Chain A
Amino acid sequence: MAHRVKSGGMARAVVRAAGLLVPRDRRGEWCEEWEAELEVLSGLRRGAAELRAGSEEPSPGAAPPISGPYPGELRFALGAIPHAVWTRTEGWTMDGITLDLRFAWRTLRRAPGFTLVAALTLALGIGANAAVFSLVNGILFRAPPGIAQPERLVQIGRSYDRAPRWDDWSWPALELIGRESQALSGVAGYQAWSFVLGAGADAQEVSGQLVNGSYFGVLGVRPLLGRLIGPDDDVTPGAHPVVVLSYGLWQRHFGADPGVVGRTVSVGAKPYQVIGVTPASFAGPGVVGTPPEMWVPAMQIPPMGGRLPFDQWGWSWINAVGRLRDGVTFEQARASMRLVTARLREASPVNRDIRVLVARGVGLSPDAHRQARQISLLLLGIVGLVLLITCTNVANLFLARGASRATEMGVRMALGAGRGRLTRQLVTESLVLAALAIALAVPIVVSADKLLPLVFPYTLSVPVSADGKVYLFLVGVGILAGILFATAPTWTATARDIGDALRDTRLSGGRTRTRLRDTLVVTQLALSLALVSGATLLERSVLESRAADPGFDVRGLVAGEVSLGPTGRYDAASGRELFRNLLAAARRIPGVHAATLASETPIVGGHSRSTVRPADDPDNQGYEAELVVVGPRYFRTMGIPVLEGRPLRGFDDEPERVVVVNQALARMFWPGQSPVGKEILGGPDAPGWRVVGVAGDVQLRSLRSPARPTVYYPLSQMYSSVMDIHVRTVGATAGAARGLREAVAQVDPALPVSRLVDLRGAMVTSMGETRTIGYLLALFAGLALALAAVGLYGLVSFGVAQRVRELGIRIALGARPRALVGLVLGRGLALAGVGLGVGLGLSILFGRALRGLLFAVSPADLLSLGVASAVLLLTAAVAAWLPARRAARVDAVVSLKRE
């Protein structure tokens, strides 16, 4: 009952709202008819309900017996909307619209230069918007392809009373969650991994994933060929040498051979059997990052420090995604995580403060999601600003042309054209122009998938392609822009007095129009200033980052990764021996004067962490510190200062379990005390480690994030089969990189060197987002500034043309040409001044929006604002001075004779 009352009320509201569209002279009748029908309908439905309820017969004559199904009230009422639209447009005959269109087309063709400039400007604005929208669309609104019912997937993260973390879990925790969670039908575990496929000369690095047995089942992927990794592959560490290929890898590397299943391939110099191929659409559960191309059971993970991670609660290395059991809602799943939390806490002391969290969807981890969303929304904001500028520019063009068309409008009004009729004509013109611009923008949108990767600082595993939503957006933005820039000129063009319009326009330019043009130019100047200062801020950040101190010496430093695990030929002892030989070979590379080893490379590293706590503080819950295993002479080679105690020694001279910690860790565990001689617990092995030295802080993950607490372990005490060789050269880094490859090949030809980086280059790359967005912004800022300059130029020249008589009189009365230039220039600069004032406010707001990309520069950086203001004023001065010169050349006699 309540529902019907509500829908009846809604229905009446719909009819009344639709009625507003109907022309006023017919609105009364229109509403009466609809309301009467609605009343009959609700009466009929009431009658039917009473009949069903077994009450008395409906009173005779209440409703005539009519056969046929009656629609619901709301559904019926919705028909009032098309009816109202129809009634409103009834008078608009097709002939009239065709006439308008034809007239608009002729008008635009009469001024081809104007039309082309306006349409191209607009196309740039709306094209850029739609292109960026296609990116936003791909990242935020589309689930990764090839996954069944992605909306039923949840990401599993945790918090320790601090910010939630959505990254890796330990293996025992992953298994426990899969076992204990009643709300989830399974938990997929995966970790990005780099594999070496093939052996010898045609060995190549392929990015893939180590996955647990539930991975493909939870994601709902069916094999294209063969079978996929399943729970049977989760049994014995090292005993499942099987591999699943992606469609792309199968095509590229195996020539789409249908008999590939069952073949044996070399993965990390070990034989693996190909068991299946995934469908073409599947690109893993992420949308940002290199898509995985092969999958290997997690059981095949190589030992780290001589141990496997399957019983280690302290080692976090695998991501978790769960699927909701049928019929279970997300809220129920979230509530059920309390039980899982309790089980985890019972299972290991490492988990004593853990809280399990779930988040909807897959694609991007909530952290990465936030970042990518911020960047893409920022891009959308920037192109939105650009669109606004292009709109003001086109509006300005229209206004300028409106001045020359004022007489035409006046004549048409005098001949009896109503204001509404003229408005319709002008709006038609702008919409035709917008349609032209939309057509011109289509190529920009189509090539978006090639253009965007140049400006978007993340690798996308999902193709950015224009779908229906993107084209809808394009058309929508185009029409909106058309209406936006058409409003102002239309308003001034028709708001004029007929007599006024028919008089010479040079004398009575129309105050509304002038003021409007002033406003538009000021807006343009202000928006350009915001873009220019934003670009300056980012450029300054990049410059600052080059000069920044990452805590070590980047000059001539090259690093490359060597991974022994996949070869299966080295144990801890022979591995150390090999590393010793590698170091000796690396030191013989021409130009290289120092070499060392470490399990992580600064700036690009930070992949291993382990929970440690001070032995002298039983209440300390510990901290997940960065774990770096280092070889001999590490600190000296890297140029990391050892501030207290001593550095770690070579392969054999460190018989005790000793570590070096960084300042950040020392401050956290022993504030105000010397850490040398203290003991830390935890890490992959239970016994304690004695601190022998304190090293300076190093930016391990990126330049922007502050240095994290770090523990350095000696290779002699903690073996790692994956090490990065670092060499410092006096020569070119490219030569050293080549030399490093050759040196490793001399020692063991089967060992590939991967992830070769020049550390100075890595520093620049780590500012990649800032740099690319900075370039983009500089490009758009230049464009905006040029448009604003053109606008100002046009306005000032218009002013000179308008005041030619006044200027003539002034000259006749003895004014000096210089004073006249000053007069005209002053007006232009006054506008620039207002634009500057408004723009400075905008710039500070915009700088705040860019904050995430800045490095060592404040959003309201005075230098950047100053530079931007100077650029703006200079541009404005030139733009105003060029036409102002003309004022000085006004000939008094000629100008006065003209009238």
Chain B
Amino acid sequence: MRITQGTFSFLPDLTKAQVAAQVQYCLDRGWAVSIEHTDDPHPRNTYWEMWGAPLFDLADAAGVMGEIEACKAAHPADYVRVNAFDSARGWETVRLSFIVQRPAEEKGFRLDRTEVEGRTQRYALRHRAGAL
């Protein structure tokens, strides 16, 4: 099951040149770009593992691309995403976030049902690549 979250996720995967162009767009606007990876892309999993500190004060996408490649090489089976944080007053939030790597086989989610009192059902989504 293809994970669709963040920008561009309904498009075919971006090529390296396209990722570099997007990153350059962010840098030109003064956003701090950061790289994160995870093995659990559950939509509620907001906090992915950070790949180093956010990359502040860069001028050119080449520096970010190097880090993206290093992160992909270190975690070939993880999801990797790029975030761009805008620190301008009034925004102070992530302005752009997109996935730059997916595992070769995306396992998707499993639906867990739990029966609680009065035959009520509780549902939970669990990523299949997880422990279970």
A and B physically associate: no
